[in-house]
Every structure is written in C-alpha cells, then in structure tokens.
C-alpha cells in the first residue's frame, strides 16, 4: 500500500512573511534609537543695553509736474469747388378748368295714400266734429237753462232803462252750487245790479249737464242780464 504525498504550498510564503515582519521590527528599533540620540537645536539670544533709534521714515520724492500736452491742430479741409448748377425752368401754374359735373335729378313719385286709411281718417274726423257739435249744443242748452233760472228770480226795481246790462262772473262748485258772483260790468243802475246778484245766489244750485266731464265748461260762467229779454 502506497501513500500519496502532496506538497504544502503555504510553507514558503509563511516563511517569507516571517522574515518581513522581523526585518520591519529591527528597522523600527534602529530608527527609534537614533532619533532619541540626536541633539536638540540651539537658539542664540543677543542682549542690548538700550533700544536703538528707529530708522527715519523715508520722505516722498517730489514728483515732476506733468507737462501740458497740446493736441495737434486738425488739418484744414480743402475748399469744395462750387459747381454751377443749371437753372431750373420755372413752371407756370396753369389755371384748372372746372370739370362739369352731371347732376341727375331724382324725381320722386308721389305716394298715393291708402284709400282705407283715408276713409278711416275721414270717419274719425266726422266723429270728432259731431262730438264737438253735440258738446256745444249741450253747453248752450244748459247755459240757457242757467240764465232762465236766474232771470226768473230777479225782482225788478223801478226806473230801469231797457238797454241796461249787468255782467257777472259766476264761479260754480260741482253740483251747480254758486261759490261767488262777481260784478264785471255795471248796468249803471246799482239797484238793478244788486237785484241780479241776489237772484244768482237764490238760484243755487244751478242746473248742470249730467256728464261730469263737461263741468270745466261751467266752472267759470260769464253771464249778462237785461231788463227785457
């Protein structure tokens, strides 16, 4: 029976490592010994009996004044020769001739009214005229009634001329009540004037039309009375 022998590769490097460690330890001991045996550096000190005077400050040197620099004069430009230009011909302004403008006259045709509209307007105008006439008749009718009511209450004084006329402004309230009777023009007979005024007050309330819209036509009435009417 044979035994196989294998080489040990780690023995050679271990030996080398051991030698390197011993060499480093020896070098450390050697350098440490030589560092301790070196002499320390010496320092020399000088002793002075008195402090030496300070050195005088250097005085600044006088600087030379700068010389004035005179700039050189610019070169004179050479004169430009005059060039004779040809005279321009004067342009004579010619008067402009008026250009005739043709104007066209636009003739508008008369607009013919619509017969229906015309008829309606005429009918409305007739209605207004009839209403105005009817209102006038009603006013005249009730003015006559008012005058007759007052005249029936006049007590005629003696010796009154037939042409005597007394004019009054009668102010009425709604319902025909007399507010006041003011003499505007005397008949020349004071007794007759007083008799007419008393008759106006006795006739209150005076007759008025039933349409209240016509009251403004009777608010202020101007009435005149004669002895014989």
Query: What local confidence, expressed as pLDDT, does residue 180 receive?
Result: 93
CATH code reported for the domain at 119-225: 3.30.1150.10
Q: Report the predicted TM-score, pTM, of the whole model to 2 decimal places.
A: 0.48
Domain boundaries, the chain: 119-225
pLDDT for residue 156:
92
Provide the pLDDT for residue 31. Answer: 63
Question: For residues 218 and 170, what is the distance between their CA atoms, to the nearest angstrom?
Answer: 9
pLDDT < 50 positions in the chain: 1-6, 10
pLDDT attached to residue 52: 53
Query: How confident is the model at residue 215, as a pLDDT?
Result: 93
Q: What pLDDT is recorded for position 222? A: 94
Neighbours of 187 (CB within 10 A): 22
- Residues 38-76 have pLDDT tens digits of 555 556 555 555 555 555 565 655 565 656 656 666 666
Give 30-39 pLDDT, tens digit per residue.
Answer: 666 555 555 5
């Amino acid at each position: 029976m044979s035994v196989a022998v294998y080489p040990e590769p780690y023995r050679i490097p271990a030996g080398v490592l051991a030698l390197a460690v011993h060499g480093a330890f020896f070098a450390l001991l050697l350098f440490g010994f030589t560092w301790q045996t070196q002499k320390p550096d010496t320092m020399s000190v000088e002793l002075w009996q008195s402090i030496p005077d300070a050195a005088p400050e250097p005085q600044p040197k006088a600087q030379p004044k700068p010389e004035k620099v005179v700039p050189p004069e610019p070169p004179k430009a050479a004169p430009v020769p005059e060039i004779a230009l040809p005279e321009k011909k004067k342009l004579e302004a010619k008067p402009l001739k008026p250009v005739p403008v043709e104007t066209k006259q636009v003739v508008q045709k008369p607009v013919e009214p619509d017969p229906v509209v015309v008829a309606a307007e005429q009918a409305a105008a007739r209605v207004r005229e009839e209403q105005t006439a009817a209102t006038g008749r009603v006013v005249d009718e009730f003015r006559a009634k008012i005058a007759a009511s007052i005249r029936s209450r006049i007590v005629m004084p003696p010796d009154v001329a037939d042409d005597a006329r007394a004019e009054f402004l009668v102010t009425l309230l709604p319902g025909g009540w007399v507010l006041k009777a003011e003499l505007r023009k005397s008949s020349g007979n004071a007794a007759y004037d007083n008799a007419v005024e008393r008759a106006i007050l006795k006739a209150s309330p005076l007759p008025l039309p039933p349409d209240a819209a016509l009251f403004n036509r009777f608010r202020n009435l101007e009435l005149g009375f004669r002895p014989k009417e």
